[in-house]
Each structure stands twice: as C-alpha cells, then as structure tokens.
Structure 1
Amino acid sequence: MASRVIAIGDVHGCSTALRSLINSIQPNRSDTIVTLGDYVNRGPDGRGVIEQLIALRDQCALIPLLGNHDQLLLRNQSSRTEIPGHPPIDPDNGLELFRDEHFSFLQTCELYFEIETHFFVHANYDHKKPLAQQDPYTLLWLSLDSKMPKRHFTRKTAIVGHTEQQDGDTLDRGYLKCIDTYCYGGGWLTAFDVHSGKQWQFDQNGVQRQAAT
C-alpha cells in the first residue's frame, strides 16, 4: 500500500469520533498522520483522546501538533481541574484525571510540520515568514475569521484547524484548507488525505457522514 499523509482536525475530547476515524482509516507503518491539536476541553474525554494518540504511535508515523487548548492545559499542570479562561472542568467527565504521561505527550507536540507540497499548523500563519520564524500566537491562537492569510510564499498548501466550520464542511481556499468541522458542537471530526483528497468524517457518536468522499 502506498504511503499516505493524513491530517486530522480538532478533536476536543471526542474520543469516540477519533476511535471510529482511526478504525476507518486503518493506518499502517508507511502512513504519516498529522493531528492538528486541541485534543482536550469542550468534549467529554480529552484523556481518552490523548491515550488513543499515544497508542497510535505504534501503528504509523504520528506528528501531533499543539493546539491552544493543549497549551493552556500545559500551563496549568498544577491545577488539573481548571483551564484558565474556561469554566471549571466537570469532575465526572474524566478530564481531571490527566497523568504524567498525558502531559509528557503534550510536551512532545510540535508547532508546525511540513512536507514538500503541504504544511500543517493549528491555527494560522504569516504568509511572508518561514514556518520556523512564525509567532506562536499566530500559529496557536489567531483565527481565520480574524485574519485570512494569503498563500504562503513557499507556495505550499496550508492545512489548518482552530477556526470552527460550524456547518460541518471543510473550508477550502485552494491554497488553504481548514478541517476543524466542529465535532464537539454537533458537527464532525474530519480526516483528510492531502495527496488523494480522500476525506473521512465521524460525529461524536461514531457515526460516519455518508457525504464524505
């Protein structure tokens, strides 16, 4: 089987959707999966999401990117029941049970990843700067609604998350594709094969969107 490069959008604690997505993709050791960050908060099972990703490293080349919600959790390790700027975490939803291995995973996450034809960031980018020179705020926090970037000077296609597409459809500008499709809010968790264009989408209950191609 030919190797694939597959991006997965913002999971936000939707562990059932992620499990269904991975089962459908059936990754193998020749595949590279790039997860775009925001593994925790908002959805019911951020811990379960991270544990699935840790296990996924045994199946493929996993490139996990850091999201802004993940950054907040890392900044708040000493108080595991609350993320600054957000309501206290419900003690019944499992998010308060993060352990050292979960924080260690988040500490290994990258701010960006690139291949010959595409690059991957959580949120946004400055089209004039190399990825290694990007401001962390832009990469992690700046929404597309606040500033839609131009095509990057490298001419590579950008794959991003962070800016919720509440209609459940990916945003495609040609040079930029946003695959945060609002899973925790009633939309879908999206995976996208950047070379073939194949797309998978599952909701929080693990139901596949039949319109996905």
Structure 2
Amino acid sequence: MRTFAIGDIHGGLKALLQVLNKIEVTEKDNLIFVGDYVDGWSESAQVIEFLIDLSKKINCFFIKGNHDVWCENWLREEDVNPTWYMHGGKETIESYEGFTADEKRQHLDFFENMDLCFIDENNRLFLHAGFTSMHGVEKEIFKENFYFDRTLWEMALAVNTEMDKNSIFYPKRIQHYKEIYIGHTPTTNFGKSEPMNALNIWNIDTGAAFKGRVSAMNIDTKEFVQSDNLPDLYPDEKGRN
C-alpha cells in the first residue's frame, strides 16, 4: 500500500490525470490532497466532479484550501468574493456553466466535508497552508490559518538547518509532528519547479496555478512525479497571473 500527497491543482484536470497515470494509482493506494482544487485553469468544476467519483474507488483524504473556501461560499450563497473573482474565481464560475442545481449541491457537500488538516497513524501532518500555535494544530485558535498562513513555511526556510532539534531556539510548533506536508505557497516563488523540503516540512505546491506543475509525492520514499507545465496543457488560457 502506497500513500501519495498531491499538491495544488487549481482547475488543471489534465495535469491531475497525468499525475495519476504516472503513479499508476490503484485501489490499494491512499491519496492525500492538500487543497486548492479550483481557480486558475478552465476545469475547476470538472476537477471536483472527478475527485468525487475517484473517492468512491480509492481511499482519498481531501484537505480544504483557501480557494476551496471561496468556491464553497459561492456555491452556498452565490457570494462572489471580489478577491476570489480576480484570482481564479471567474474561471471557476465559468466552469460550472451547464451544471445542474443538484450537481452543484453535490459539490457543495464535497467542500463542506473536507478536513482542515489530517494526521496519519505515523504522526505526519497534512494541511493546506500552516498554523501558528506552538502547541500544534489542536490548539490553533484561528482556523483560517490552516488555509491562509505562510509563516510556517517562511520560518522553516529561515531556520538554520544545522540547528540541534533540542535547542531552545528550535521552532516548537513543528516538533509535534514527524513530518508536515503543505501546499499554498508555490515553490516556483523560490525558483524551484519541484517539491521543496525545509526542516521536517515538505512543500508540494509546485505552481500549478501559474506556469508550474501538479506534483504527487510518495511520502514514504519521497519519490515524486509531475505533470507537464500547465500552460502547455492549456495553451489557449492564461491561468492566474
């Protein structure tokens, strides 16, 4: 049995299919998605429809990202958040053209049932963005941090990797977990097209919303596969700028 962590997809169904084909996913595998399924490319609604069907065949865990929160609110209340609309929401709304009210309700149920974080039996934490409590995710007061926070990743990049884990200066919030897997902050922001590791944190958002790729990592071996660059899969679209 294998477990894969899959990074941000942002409406790129073609990229997601490439990744699943490359890992030759089977019914024995576990798939953990770290959020942001929508917004960016033209197939957001189709990504959600595919994931709903996939979860009926394969053991999947779905983490909620900030773009998923925006889409969920729109499906529930038809509330068009201006920030969301400018950062991929327009394309997501357009992708729902032709979907029935019942199908949209099923998608809303899917979003509402997503977890904000997940801890597996080996004490590995999965969430979209980060958290700030030094006592771990269970003590996080502001749940929005799970899908908006960037300080966890920024901290990991800034800490001296040679620092002793027993040092009083070693970040306490990450000591609670064997490993942490996140998305949200594209590795392409740091000139990297592949997943990045800092301390015990793995960032698997490889810029699919922009000019990067969707990535899937085997969390036991750290081997990973990637899709083509999203602009190559959607040559007539711009994605997010």
Q: What TM-score does the superposition give when structure 1 sets the normalisation length?
A: 0.85
SS in 2 for 1:136: coil
**2:220 maps to which residue?**
195
1:143, distance to aligned residue in structure 2 (A): 1.6
Query: What one-letter code is carried by the residue in structure 2 that aligns with 1:25?
Result: I
Tell me if 1:172 matches 2:197: yes
1:89 aligned onto 2:90: yes
Query: Contact 1:45/1:93 (CA < 8 Å) preserved in 2?
Result: no
Tell me how far apart the structure 1 counterparts of residues 30 and 19 of structure 2 sit (CA, whole Å). Answer: 15
Q: Distance in 2 between matches of 1:30 and 1:46?
A: 26
**Where in structure 2 are the equivalents of 1:121-160 lying within 5 Å?**
121-126=127-132, 128-134=134-140, 135-144=142-151, 147-148=154-155, 150=171, 152-160=174-182
Is residue 45–residue 92 contact of structure 2 (8 Å, CA) maintained in 1? no
Alpha-carbon deviation of 1:175? 0.5
Aligned-residue identity in percent: 24
Is the Cα contact below 8 Å between 1:9 and 1:189 reproduced in 2?
yes
Q: CA deviation at 1:58?
A: 2.7
Alpha-carbon distance, 1:102 to partner? 1.1
Q: Structure 1 residue 92: deviation in Å? A: 8.5
What is the distance in 1 between the residues matched to 2:93 and 2:112?
25
Structure with the higher fraction of residues in helix conformation: 2
Inter-partner Cα distance in structure 1 for 2:72 and 2:221: 35
| CA–CA distance in structure 2, aligned partners of residues 49 and 198 of structure 1 | 24
Residues 39 and 91, structure 2, Cα contact 8 Å, conserved in 1: no
Bigger-Rg structure (1/2): 2
Aligned position for 2:78 = 79
What TM-score comes out, normalization by structure 2 length?
A: 0.76
The aligned length equals: 204
Q: Aligned residue for 2:26?
A: 28
CA RMSD of aligned residues (A): 2.4
